[in-house]
Amino acid sequence: MFWTFKEWFWLERFWLPPTIKWSDLEDRDGLVYVKPSHLYMTIPYAFLLLIIRRVFEKFVASPLAKSFGIKETVRKVTPNTVLENFFKHSTRQPMQTDIYGLAKKCNLTERQVERWFRSRRNQERPSRMKKFQEACWRFAFYLVITVAGIAFLYDKPWLYDLWEVWNGYPKQPLLLSQYWYYILEMSFYWSLLFRLGFDVKRKDFLAHIIHHLAAISLMSFSWCANYIRSGTLVMIVHDVADIWLESAKMFSYAGWTQTCNTLFFIFSAIFFISRLIIFPFWILYCTLILPMYYLEPFFSYIFLNLQLMILQVLHLYWGYYILKMLNRCIFMKNIQDVRSDDEDYEEEEEEEEEEEEGTKGKEMDYLKNGLGAERHLIPNGQHGC
201-236 pLDDT per residue, tens:
666 677 677 778 888 989 999 999 999 999 999 999
Q: Do 217 and 115 belong together in one domain?
A: no
Residue 2, in any domain of the structure: no
Output the pLDDT for position 204. Answer: 61
Contact by Cβ (8 Å): 57, 136: yes
Q: 336, 318, 119, 379: which is closest to 248 by C-alpha? A: 336
Q: Which of 310, 332, 354 is the last residue of a domain?
A: 332
**Does residue 184 sit in helix, strand or coil?**
helix
Q: In sequence order, what are the residues at sequence separation of 6 or more whose Cβ sits closer than 8 angstroms to the Cβ of residue 172?
A: 33, 226, 228, 229
Please state the rounded mean pLDDT for residues 83-109: 87
pLDDT of residue 173: 94
What pLDDT does residue 243 have? 94
Whether the pLDDT of residue 191 is over 60: the answer is yes
For position 116, which CATH number holds? Answer: 1.10.10.60
The chain-wide mean pLDDT, for the chain, equals 83
Average pLDDT, stretch 183-194?
93
Residue range(s) defining the domain that contains residue 107: 81-124
206 and 296 inside one domain: yes
Q: Between 327 and 145, name the one with better pLDDT.
A: 145
Q: What pLDDT was estimated at residue 364? A: 40
**CA–CA dist 257, 334 (Å, integer):** 7
Contact (Cβ atoms closer than 8 angstroms) between residue 15 and residue 225: yes
Nearest to 267 by CA among 292, 240, 233, 228: 240
If asked whether residues 172 and 277 sit together in one domain, one would say: yes
pLDDT at 335: 55
Question: Looking at residue 314, what is its pLDDT?
Answer: 84
Last residue within a domain, chosen from 332, 359, 380: 332
Q: How high is the pLDDT of residue 211?
A: 74
Residue 340: which of 327, 321, 319, 323 has the closest Cα?
321
Give domain status of residue 208, yes or no: yes
The pLDDT value given to residue 333? 57
- How many domains does the chain fold into? 2
- 104 & 203 share domain: no
**CB-CB contact of 20 with 162 (8 Å):** no
pLDDT at residue 88 greater than cutoff 90 = no
Domain shared by 135 and 175, yes or no: yes
* Mean pLDDT of the region 316-325: 90
Answer yes or no: is pLDDT of 362 > 60.
no
For residue 75, the model assigns a pLDDT of 67
Mean pLDDT of 308-322: 89
The answer to the question of residue 63 being in a domain is yes
Query: At residue 378, does pLDDT exceed 60?
Result: no
- Whether 289 shows a pLDDT value over 90: the answer reads yes
Residues near 342 by Cβ (< 8 Å), separated by ≥ 6?
none
Q: Does residue 247 or residue 91 have the better pLDDT?
A: 247
Look at residues 263, 268, 172, 264 and name the one whose alpha carbon lies nearest to residue 226. Answer: 172
In whole angstroms, what is the distance from residue 89 CA to residue 123 CA?
A: 17
Distance CA 36, CA 14 (A): 14
Largest interatomic CA distance in the chain: 111
Residues 6+ apart with CB under 8 A from 77: 116, 119, 120, 123
Instruction: Report pLDDT for 202.
Output: 67
140 with 118, same domain? no
CA-based nearest residue to 321, from 334, 345, 339: 339
In this prediction, residue 311 carries a pLDDT of 86
Among candidate residues 282, 263, 273, the one with its CA nearest the CA of residue 315: 273
The DSSP letter of residue 242 is H
- Per-residue pLDDT reduced to its tens digit, 9-29: 899 989 999 888 999 999 988
Angle formed by the axes of helices 228-254 and 176-195, nearest 10°:
50
Alpha carbons 192 and 44: distance in angstroms, whole number: 14
Residue 178: per-residue pLDDT: 95
pLDDT of residue 383: 38
Cα–Cα dist 368/374, whole Å: 10
At residue 317 the predicted structure's pLDDT band, cuts being 50, 70 and 90, is confident
Is the pLDDT score of 343 beyond 90? Answer: no
**Which pLDDT score, from 0 to 100, does residue 334 have?**
55
Shared-domain flag, residues 226 and 289: yes
Does residue 345 belong to any structural domain of this protein?
no
How confident is the model over 119-128, as a mean pLDDT? 77
Cβ neighbour number for residue 283 with a 10 Å cutoff: 22
Q: Identify whether 376 is part of a domain.
A: no
pLDDT-above-70 percentage for the chain? 83
The pLDDT of residue 271 is 96
Of 40-44, 86-90, 97-101, 303-307, the one with minimum mean pLDDT is: 86-90
**CA distance readout (Å), 225 to 33, 39, 62, 123, 241:** 11, 13, 42, 48, 27
Backbone dihedral region for residue 314 (phi beyond 0: left; psi -120 to 50: alpha; all else: beta): alpha
